[in-house]
């Protein structure tokens, strides 16, 4: 068995591919927690915050996030926010695991059931949103997480976006030249005027590192896969990125760092911020007359009426 590159222990069980090093369990946990803490401090993610909301889906990334914040900022007032998306067994497992972890860590949990809005994510499959279900699901989660955070009065909302998610998004946005969206790919998104400030403490951590952290700390997470995700373009892009990383170790870190350090400051100077107005239906901020969420809701409620009850 290879030796740990930090302490020399013969139990170097975890291989960090972009560093080309093995670490033992203890050194990996220290390395992981220190790295996340540094990301938070470097970007002032919790500066001046008293109450921090943590968006927890039940997947490994957000579950790792909740534990690592609890461990590295033990005095922070945390509230875990979970949305039950109504995706059958999958959503039930997610909610169960989130409850289990919150109980273990002693973190207050707020669960919101999407069915209370009159629909569930599977209902979107009967609309044109079904073609890009993850994009539509993202609109729902972002809107409701923001609304819940404002209602609960949290100062920041921490999300579990990891390096792999970020690089996948960068690839998509660079390929299609969507600079207005590229300028919003960053570790901290300022809040104000109906928007809670959002922070991404895991933005420099890979999916694999988050997996190892949950595994080595016995953190529960949902093992079931979302049944709606099959064949998504996002998964195809992640596979391509994994292949590039295999050939060029460190590719993901390099792309992210170049974006944040070199490209983002220039984009921020040149890309105009969109003018935000209040949505005519819900009053939340939007660039158009009606926000993306209200458009989606009016479409999906038509089909729910036609097909029966939410999720039916």
Measured distance CA(156)–CA(269) in Å, rounded: 25
Pairing status of strand 197-199 against strand 156-158:
parallel
Partner in contact with 197, chosen from Zn ion, ligand SF4, none, beta carbon below 5 to 8 Å by kind: none
Q: Which is nearer to Zn ion, 76 or 282 (CB)?
A: 282
Measured distance CA(278)–CA(269) in Å, rounded: 25
Burial label for 193, CB within 10 Å (0-12, 13-18, 19+), is: exposed
Pairing status of strand 156-158 against strand 188-189:
unpaired
Task: Give me the least distance between CB of 121 and ligand SF4, in Å please.
Answer: 6
Smallest CA-to-CA distance from 128 within 310, 242, 295, 268 is with 295
What is the length of the chain? 312
Q: Which is nearer to ligand SF4, 61 or 209 (CB)?
A: 61
Task: Give me the least distance between CB of 57 and ligand SF4, in Å please.
Answer: 7
Measured distance CA(267)–CA(271) in Å, rounded: 6
Task: Give me the least distance between CB of 65 and ligand SF4, in Å please.
Answer: 16
Partner in contact with 134, chosen from ligand SF4, Zn ion, none, beta carbon below 5 to 8 Å by kind: ligand SF4
Smallest CA-to-CA distance from 33 within 276, 169, 212 is with 212
Q: Which is nearer to ligand SF4, 69 or 140 (CB)?
A: 140
Q: Which is nearer to ligand SF4, 137 or 199 (CB)?
A: 137
Partner in contact with 133, chosen from ligand SF4, Zn ion, none, beta carbon below 5 to 8 Å by kind: ligand SF4
Measured distance CA(279)–CA(273) in Å, rounded: 17
Measured distance CA(243)–CA(143) in Å, rounded: 34
Instruction: Locate 205 and state its tokens.
Output: 């951590």
Task: Give me the least distance between CB of 85 and ligand SF4, in Å please.
Answer: 6
Task: Give me the least distance between CB of 228 and ligand SF4, in Å please.
Answer: 4
Partner in contact with 282, chosen from Zn ion, ligand SF4, none, beta carbon below 5 to 8 Å by kind: Zn ion
Partner in contact with 279, chosen from Zn ion, ligand SF4, none, beta carbon below 5 to 8 Å by kind: Zn ion
Q: Which is nearer to ligand SF4, 192 or 231 (CB)?
A: 231
Partner in contact with 226, chosen from ligand SF4, Zn ion, none, beta carbon below 5 to 8 Å by kind: ligand SF4
Q: Which is nearer to ligand SF4, 13 or 134 (CB)?
A: 134
Partner in contact with 121, chosen from Zn ion, ligand SF4, none, beta carbon below 5 to 8 Å by kind: ligand SF4
Binding site for ligand SF4 (CB under 6 A): 85, 121, 133-134, 137-138, 226, 228-229
Task: Give me the least distance between CB of 81 and Zn ion, in Å please.
Answer: 20
Rg of the chain (C-alpha set): 20
Answer whether 55's CB lies under 8 Å from 145's CB: yes
Partner in contact with 24, chosen from Zn ion, ligand SF4, none, beta carbon below 5 to 8 Å by kind: none
Answer whether 17's CB lies under 8 Å from 5's CB: no
Task: Give me the least distance between CB of 98 and Zn ion, in Å please.
Answer: 27
Pairing status of strand 14-16 against strand 108-113:
unpaired
Neighbours of 103 (CB within 10 A): 10
Task: Give me the least distance between CB of 97 and ligand SF4, in Å please.
Answer: 14
Binding site for Zn ion (CB under 5 A): 279, 281-282, 291, 294
Q: Which is nearer to ligand SF4, 85 or 241 (CB)?
A: 85
Q: Which is nearer to ligand SF4, 4 or 163 (CB)?
A: 163
Q: At what angle do helices 88-105 and 60-72 cross, to 10 degrees?
A: 10
């Amino acid at each position: 068995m290879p030796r740990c590159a930090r302490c020399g222990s013969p139990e170097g069980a975890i291989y960090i591919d972009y560093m080309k090093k093995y670490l033992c369990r203890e050194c990996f946990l220290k390395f992981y927690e220190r790295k996340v803490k540094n990301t938070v401090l470097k970007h002032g993610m919790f500066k001046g915050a008293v109450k921090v909301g943590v968006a927890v889906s039940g997947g490994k990334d957000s579950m790792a996030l909740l534990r690592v914040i609890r461990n590295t900022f033990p005095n922070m007032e945390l509230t875990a926010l979970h949305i039950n998306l109504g995706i059958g067994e999958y959503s039930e497992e997610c909610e169960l695991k989130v409850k289990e972890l919150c109980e273990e860590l002693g973190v207050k949990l707020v669960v919101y059931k999407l069915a209370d809005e009159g629909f569930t994510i599977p209902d979107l499959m009967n609309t044109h949103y079904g073609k890009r279900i993850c994009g539509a699901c993202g609109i729902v989660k972002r809107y409701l997480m923001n609304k819940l955070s404002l209602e609960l009065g949290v100062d920041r909302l921490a999300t579990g976006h990891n390096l792999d998610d970020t690089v996948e998004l960068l690839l998509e946005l660079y390929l299609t030249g969507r600079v207005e969206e590229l300028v919003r790919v960053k570790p901290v998104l300022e809040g104000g005027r109906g928007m809670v400030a959002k922070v991404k403490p895991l933005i420099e951590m890979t999916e694999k590192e988050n997996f190892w952290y949950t595994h080595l700390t016995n953190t529960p997470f949902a093992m079931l896969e979302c049944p709606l995700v099959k064949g998504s373009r996002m998964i195809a892009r992640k596979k391509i990125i994994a292949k590039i990383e295999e050939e060029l170790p460190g590719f993901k870190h390099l792309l992210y760092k170049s974006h944040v350090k070199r490209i983002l400051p220039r984009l921020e100077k040149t890309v105009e911020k969109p003018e935000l107005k209040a949505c005519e239906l819900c009053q939340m901020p939007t660039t158009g007359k009606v926000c993306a969420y209200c458009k989606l809701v009016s479409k999906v409620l038509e089909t729910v009426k036609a097909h029966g009850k939410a999720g039916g």
